[in-house]
Structure 1
Amino acid sequence: MTREPRFAHSSPCIYSKSGRTTVAAMMGEQVGTVSGFLWVAEFKKLLGSDFKLYPNPVALAQDLEAGRVEIGVDSYGTGVYAQNKGSYPGLVIKVSEPDPRVQASIQAAQCNLLYTKANTSLGAAIDADIVAMHKDGSIAGYLKAFGLDPSGADVGEPRVIN
């Protein structure tokens, strides 16, 4: 069972030539990802020396293209957008199937807008706009306009992941 891409960019997506969709299918392969994602520590533990960190998606893309890593793990939006612009030729980008060893594959982080905690009126205005954009379909429309699956607008109830 695969999940549709989430609006939050930290749902792990697997970039591979064969269209892999599971964490198990990555075992024994050279895998790379970009620093800073929620899944980094869990992949380090699972993959050990077969796991490589990159400072940005461009560096990961270069090593994928050169064959220095067989599989990349990055966000869906980054991959699809770049592929629509001609990057990642020959790679298939798939949302990872849920795996309890990688919690971000089960419950991805959500996008957040930061503001000063004391500015409660700004927070209320942002919340109201987000609710309105969900109701009128704007967020789904923006995703579709950039070649992303509009179902990614459904990110569930607001939450904070520790």
Structure 2
Amino acid sequence: MKPNSAWIRRGAPVSAAAAGLALVLSGCSTTAGAAVDPSCTPKHEFSTITSGTLTVAAYDFAPHLKIEGNQISGVEGELLNEIAKRECLTVTLEASGGAGAAIPSVQAGRADLAASDWWRTKARAKVVALSNPVYLDQGALVSVAGYKTIADLDGKKIGSVAGNLWNDEFSQVFGDKFSVYQDPEAAFNDLAAGRIDAVIDSVGATTARFESTPIKDAQIVPLQPDARIPVTAHPGQLNWPTKLDNTALTKAINDNIEDLRKDGTIADLLKKYGMDASAADVGEPGML
């Protein structure tokens, strides 16, 4: 898929464990707070809020970023730890205030970048610098029957969650066969009970949901483009926003993103966390 300018992300939940949390993690070691090896030579030169530290504003949003004790993991967490390692930095996680505080923390100079599934948008580009796309936050067709395409859903009962940009287009195509739920729990409960045949959600969110609340025989298939629903051709591009005036940091992040894409690290981590490796193929940068 070659994304450019559509799709939308629902508001992401913030875990209680993330609120008010400040963690210090090592970029050159798995031991929390370990000092960077003095012989380490960074790949780039740039300034950070605190010398020797990359401060990341984020919140718990698996599988993109997980906060586990004094460690971060998930696709983004592991990528950021690897970037810190290559740049001889220690990672400090600033999670106070949750999702709503992440972008303002970057704007105000309290964090160097924001993580946890932030999409490239035109509105966001006015207040922070957008990095290159890291990977796609793909839509998902979730069913027990194993449907592969939107065309397979003709005549079937379909559910989605309020706030998804594709809802209006699906409603126009599928009429009263398409239902919008106020929360994902209700939609997936109906799928499990056989009251609907499929749920349209995101690969990341559904993958995380099924870790704790699986549905027997349910399959997650990346949403394929369908000409009747134009928005399906443009999944969101996840990025790491930085401060507008720190161009050297933005460039360093971009260079590292492309290196991690070329050496297969992004694709490997997507697979590790149950997502589709094809999400590493972001196409040309675009904005919603």
TM-score norm. by structure 2 comes to: 0.47
Deviant stretches of 4+, over 4 Å: none
Q: Report whether the alignment pairs 1:44 with 2:171.
A: yes
Query: Percent of aligned pairs with the same residue?
Result: 34
Distance in 2, matches of 1:121 and 1:58, equals 43
Match of 1:126 among 253, 273, 279: 253
Instruction: Give 5+ residue unaligned stretches, structure 1.
Output: 1-6
Match of 1:8 among 136, 140, 143: 136
The AA in structure 1 aligned to 2:269 is: Y
Does structure 1 retain, via aligned residues, the 8 Å contact 2:222–2:276?
no
The AA in structure 2 aligned to 1:149 is: D
Shift in alpha-carbon separation, 1:147–1:160, aligned structure 2, 3 A: same
Does structure 1 retain, via aligned residues, the 8 Å contact 2:139–2:201?
yes
Does structure 1 retain, via aligned residues, the 8 Å contact 2:237–2:282?
yes
Distance in 2, matches of 1:90 and 1:22, equals 17
1:74 matched to which residue of 2?
201
Secondary structure of 2:237's counterpart equals coil
C-alpha deviation, 1:60, in angstroms: 2.2
C-alpha deviation, 1:87, in angstroms: 0.5
Does structure 2 retain, via aligned residues, the 8 Å contact 1:32–1:69?
yes
Shift in alpha-carbon separation, 1:60–1:117, aligned structure 2, 3 A: farther
1:93 matched to which residue of 2?
220
Q: Report whether the alignment pairs 1:24 with 2:136.
A: no
Count, aligned residues: 154
Greater helix content: 1
1:136 matched to which residue of 2?
263
Shift in alpha-carbon separation, 1:59–1:120, aligned structure 2, 3 A: farther
2:180 matched to which residue of 1?
53
Secondary structure of 1:20's counterpart equals coil
C-alpha deviation, 1:86, in angstroms: 5.5
1:146 matched to which residue of 2?
273
Instruction: Give 5+ residue unaligned stretches, structure 2.
Output: 1-134
The one-character-per-residue Cα deviations of 1:94-143 (angstroms, maximum 9, x if unpaired) are 23332112223323221133344344344323322212221232211211
Shift in alpha-carbon separation, 1:26–1:128, aligned structure 2, 3 A: same
Does structure 2 retain, via aligned residues, the 8 Å contact 1:12–1:104?
no
Does structure 1 retain, via aligned residues, the 8 Å contact 2:158–2:179?
yes
Match of 1:109 among 213, 226, 236: 236
C-alpha deviation, 1:159, in angstroms: 1.4
Secondary structure of 1:58's counterpart equals helix
Query: Looking at CA atoms only, which structure, 1 or 2, has the larger radius of gyration?
Result: 2
Does structure 2 retain, via aligned residues, the 8 Å contact 1:14–1:72?
yes
Shift in alpha-carbon separation, 1:131–1:99, aligned structure 2, 3 A: same
Does structure 2 retain, via aligned residues, the 8 Å contact 1:33–1:72?
yes
Shift in alpha-carbon separation, 1:129–1:100, aligned structure 2, 3 A: same
**Which structure has the higher relative contact order (CA within 8 Å, separation 6+)?**
1
Shift in alpha-carbon separation, 1:53–1:120, aligned structure 2, 3 A: farther
2:162 matched to which residue of 1?
35
